[in-house]
Structure 1
Amino acid sequence: MPENIVRHAHKTHRSHRELLNGHRACLLWFTGLSGSGKSTIAGLVEEKLHAMGKRTYLLDGDNVRHGLNRDLGFSDQDRIENIRRIGEMSRLFVDAGMITLAAFISPFRADRDTVRERMEADDFVEVFIDTPLVTCEQRDPKGLYRRARDGQIRDFTGIDSPYEPPEAPELHIVNDGIAPEEAAAQVVRYLQSKGYLS
């Protein structure tokens, strides 16, 4: 970091914003294969929290790549930088007192761990949406798996680029044979049980 950059200390802190919001801030990090249901479940969680009067913001992989990360491709290095940027932006949202939901494939365990390490204790809640590859391919909502199998897309996670599942996520949801609403309810129940919502 350049020597002439100095952090400025402001008088309004996260604790003040949380008090105003009436709940704790945290980062819900949804990870899983393409087509696993991350964005759908994260969206339902946000809807439920919003209905409860909680302040939230949802960061979605595709949406962020239309703006902030539009300069990044899908090489390993670009994926790493994608997650680094999202992690830093998520930290800002949590500091703003928001329950932040991030839905990203984030295939590499080390990158997710780096985001966790940059957060305060208990701020990072890893939500593994564990959906079998065969189920994701059957869903294939964007036709990406078909294109990857046909060789039209290279470095596609789960096909010719690895996905490293979490080893000890706070929430492990097997999204195969359950309704998205039930998966979302599991996340909300977890937040309630751990005191995030009060």
Structure 2
Amino acid sequence: MNNARSMSTPTPAIRPYGLSLSREARAALKAQRPRCIWLTGLSGAGKSTLANVLELQLNQSGFHTFILDGDNLRGGLCSDLGMGADCRRENIRRMAEVARLMVDAGLIVIVAAISPFRAEREAARRLFAEGDFVEVYVSTSFAVCAQRDPKGLYQAALQGRIKDFTGIDSPYEAPLTAECEIDTQDLALEDACARLSAFLFKK
């Protein structure tokens, strides 16, 4: 029997257990409203850098946070996944489920992931209560991201050494209804983070 298939097939024996401690009680202990802040954009757009600075600011203000970074999860939870379309969808599904559990634990979770497909980001949004999912489009252009190329990925993809690279031979579907848009081409890191922080605190 295929173990992966048998694990994913629902059985009557699996029933969600009703927990006594509510999400609201966990959040009250931390004196904050838990949320998922989902940063999407091309490789090199500045998502991870922005997420890191934002988390430092929130932490210094007394908030309980955690970052789920796409590259970091590829080394553990999602290390069994490739880079094809189906694997990317599963990668985002796993990240979204982990983010939802962390929000249920009362945390402010910052997700930094290319998450190129609109349908998968919308599926992630549906896991959360109204207002608990904030989509941030880091809209730095392809030209700027390719020029930065901090990991040498664009060069490798253009030379054919990497396949299914987002923005080259795999599409990136920009958000249509993101709550916030940040372009790190036009803003210094401090200004970009300040704009995002002001938006979040306003909400």
Q: Does the pair score TM above 0.5?
A: yes
Specify the code of the residue in structure 2 equivalent to 1:192: F
1: distance between equivalents of 2:168 and 2:110? 26
Write the mapping of 1:130-169 to structure 2, written as runs, cut at 5 A: 130-169=139-178
Q: Secondary structure at the match of 2:166?
A: coil
2: distance between equivalents of 1:22 and 1:101? 18
Q: Which residue of 2 aligns with 1:74?
A: 83
Q: Secondary structure at the match of 1:154?
A: coil
Q: Which residue of 1 aligns with 2:21?
A: 12
2: distance between equivalents of 1:110 and 1:122? 18
Determine if the alignment matches structure 1 residue 30 to structure 2 residue 58.
no
Specify the code of the residue in structure 2 equivalent to 1:19: A
1: distance between equivalents of 2:160 and 2:11? 43
CA displacement 1:63-96 (0-9 Å, x = unmatched): 0000000000100000000000001000000000
Normalized against structure 2, the TM-score is what?
0.94
Deviation of residue 54 (structure 1)? 0.1
Gaps of 5+ in 2: 1-9
Specify the code of the residue in structure 1 equivalent to 2:27: E
Determine if the alignment matches structure 1 residue 98 to structure 2 residue 102.
no
Specify the code of the residue in structure 2 equivalent to 1:193: K
Q: Which residue of 2 aligns with 1:86?
A: 95
- Extract structure 1 runs of 4+ deviating beyond 6 A: none
Normalized against structure 1, the TM-score is what?
0.96
Determine if the alignment matches structure 1 residue 125 to structure 2 residue 120.
no
CA displacement 1:127-160 (0-9 Å, x = unmatched): 0000010100110000000000000000000011
Corresponding residue pairs, total: 194
1: distance between equivalents of 2:88 and 2:19? 33
Q: Secondary structure at the match of 1:39?
A: helix
Quote the sequence identity (%).
47
CA displacement 1:145-186 (0-9 Å, x = unmatched): 000000000000001100000001000112213111211112
Gaps of 5+ in 1: none
Specify the code of the residue in structure 1 equivalent to 2:95: I
Specify the code of the residue in structure 1 equivalent to 2:125: R
